[in-house]
Amino acid sequence: MQEVNFDSKEIINSEINGTNKKKRFNKFRSWYNDLSHTQKYVFWISAIVITVFILGTVSLIIILFRPTSQIKASDKVPKISLYKKTTIPPSSKKYLDPLDGEYVSQSVLNRPPLSVMIENSLSARPQSGLNEADLVYEAQVEGDITRFMAVYLKHTPNLIGPIRSARLYYISWAQGLGSIYTHWGGNIYALQLLQKQNIPNINALTMSSSGTSCSTANFIFCRLSTRYAPHNGYGNTANIWNLAQKQGLYSSLTLGKNETPYSFANTPAQSKLGTNGAAINIFFDNGVYPYSVNWVYNKANNNYERYNGGALQVDATTQQPITAKNVVVMYVTGYTESYPGEGTTEAAAPIWVLNTVSSGKAYVFNNGQETKATWTKSSTHSRMQFTNSNGNPIKFQRGRIWFEILEPQTGSFTYKP
């Protein structure tokens, strides 16, 4: 038998040169050329259908059997984010009110505070708008009478008053807040100070609208028909702010420039609050009864309700009790200054002045408890600061702060826990 030898090198070369591939292709081409036109059409349709079927089957298998970890986050249904997260428009975001620590919208901080002189004579009661103020300063003026300076920022009550005249020491407190000082006239010293130092202020007495009826639409200042002069002057806070902006008073005032915000704490647990009914009893000018003040602690609301001259003091507009979250009793030394009078219409008389740029004792009441403190005001353009016995800033409750300012020789107070 003749032996057949296979040369492996020749086989490899033929594969490399594509000899076998060419032979297979030639056989396919010969077969395809022998097909009729109809057969060729059927061939290509069948090829396309088979290809699509194979690709679809492979894709389905991949989707059904691929691991869960390979699923992209974008493929998952957002089950929680649809209702858990809410986009808040920038205008609705909350910011801290540097006056009383409550939360406000950003638009509120675009305006300076408004400090308004409010009367507290018997003919002025009940007043309107005190419960809308962030801060209230109460001190004695002439004739044994006390007067308020109510400071507004976040609320815009339609009616505040009765608005009365300016005094030197209130101007100093207003300057420390970077506020617009609003008044209805004033004694000669206060008016001279406002003019000479160009302090941003609005004097209702010089306004053409000072005689307008309070029933008039869009009034800035008005006269209330149910009260008699000079206890009938009132104002609208939103329109006062608009007037101040038109007069260019905003440009010289920026909230936060001239004052350091107070520190605020969250409300403690109910068990740590003081005793319901704890009372702060304040006596101005040796205890002249109509102007004596009692603050009574309401534990349920964690605030203090104000009594003036023995009667619960209410807001004339809302008939709600006047309240405060914080009551600060502080001692400020004072003296009398000779008042030359105004021509023949007013006789010369002494006027009352307090030393606002100084320091002294203070007592801070909140949460039904008392904290001894020291107040300090380093300049007319700085805000009063309060520190405890360790020298740390006093922490206030978020809400209205009411300052009761006593002269140590004529004023006093007692506290019943």
Question: DSSP per residue over 313-351, as a string?
Answer: -B-TTT-PBPEESEEEEEE--EEEEEE--STTSS--EEE
pLDDT of residue 85: 37
Mapping DSSP to helix (H, G, I), strand (E, B) and coil, where does residue 400 land?
Answer: coil
Reported as half-sphere exposure (CB side, CA atoms, 13 A), residue 66 has a value of: 10
Domains of the chain: 101-416 (3.50.90.10)
Mapping DSSP to helix (H, G, I), strand (E, B) and coil, where does residue 163 land?
Answer: strand
pLDDT of residue 78: 33
Contact present, 203 and 184 (Cβ < 8 Å): yes
Using CA atoms, how far apart are residues 106 and 27, in angstroms rounded to an integer? 84
Buried b vs exposed e over 206-235: b needs ≥16 C-beta within 10 Å? eeebbebebeeeebbbbbbeebeebbbbbb
CA distances (Å), 212 to each of 50, 112, 127, 224, 233, in order?
A: 93, 26, 19, 9, 10
pLDDT of residue 347: 58
User: What are all long-range contacts of 313-319, with beta carbons under 8 Å and residues at least 24 apart?
Assistant: 313/125, 313/126, 314/126, 315/126, 315/127, 315/128, 315/129, 315/130, 315/131, 316/126, 316/127, 316/128, 317/128, 317/129, 317/157, 317/159, 318/131
Phi-psi region of 401 (alpha: psi -120 to 50; beta: other; left: phi over 0): beta
pLDDT of residue 50: 80
Picking from 148, 155, 154, 143, the residue whose alpha carbon sits closest to that of residue 127 is: 148
pLDDT of residue 144: 86
pLDDT of residue 18: 46
For 246, the token pair is 């038109």
Digit-by-digit pLDDT tens for the chain (417 residues) are 444 343 444 433 443 444 455 555 566 666 666 667 677 677 777 778 787 777 767 666 665 555 443 333 333 333 333 333 334 455 555 888 989 999 999 889 889 999 999 999 999 999 999 999 999 999 999 888 999 999 999 999 999 999 999 999 999 999 999 999 999 999 888 999 999 999 999 999 998 777 899 999 999 999 999 999 999 999 999 999 999 999 999 876 654 455 678 999 999 999 999 999 999 999 998 888 899 999 999 999 999 999 999 999 999 999 999 999 999 999 999 998 876 655 545 556 678 899 999 999 999 999 999 999 999 999 998 999 999 999 999 999 999 999 999 999 999 999 999
